[in-house]
Amino acid sequence: MGDIAAGKATFIAACASCHQLGPSARGGFGPQLNGIVGRPAGSTLDYSYSAAMKNSGIVWSATSLAAFIRDPERSVPGTKMRFFSIGYNDQKMANLLAYLASVPATPPSSPSPSQAR
C-alpha cells in the first residue's frame, strides 16, 4: 500500500512539469491526470494524444500505470511520453499510484448562461 503524501511529493518532483491534477487541471505538455485510475487511455478532450495512445485499448489501473511509468515506449509504442523512472522502486511507485488514485475525476463545468441557450 502506498503513502499518498509521499506520492504527492514524487508527483510534484517528477510529473508536475508536464501533468496537472486538481479542480483546475488542464492538458498542456501532457494530459491532466484527474481520475486517471479507471479512465480509458487517450480519452480526455483537452489533450492531443498520439494515435498509439488513443488506439491502445488500455483502461488505466495500478498495474497498467506502473508498467507505463516504468517504460512508456514499451507499454505503448508510439506514445508521446518521454520519462525515465530510474530509481522508482516498488514503494516509490506504490506511493505515486496511491496519490494518483486519490485524485477524483473533475466533474465537467456547468455551461455558462450564454452557452446554455
Domain boundaries, the chain: 4-106
Query: Which residues have a Cβ under 8 Å from the Cβ of 72 and sit 6 or more positions away?
Result: 79, 81, 82, 83
What mean pLDDT value characterizes the chain?
A: 89
CATH level 3 topology of 4-106? Cytochrome Bc1 Complex; Chain D, domain 2 (1.10.760)
Q: What is the pLDDT of residue 108?
A: 53
How many residues does this entry show for the chain?
117
Enter the pTM of the model: 0.85
Q: What is the pLDDT of residue 84?
A: 78
Query: Which residues have a Cβ under 8 Å from the Cβ of 28 and sit 6 or more positions away?
Result: 18, 20, 47
SS3 per-residue string spanning 97-115: HHHHHHCCCCCCCCCCHHH
Average pLDDT over residues 99-115: 68
Do residues 105 and 34 make contact, with C-beta atoms less than 8 angstroms apart? Answer: yes
Do residues 32 and 20 make contact, with C-beta atoms less than 8 angstroms apart? Answer: yes
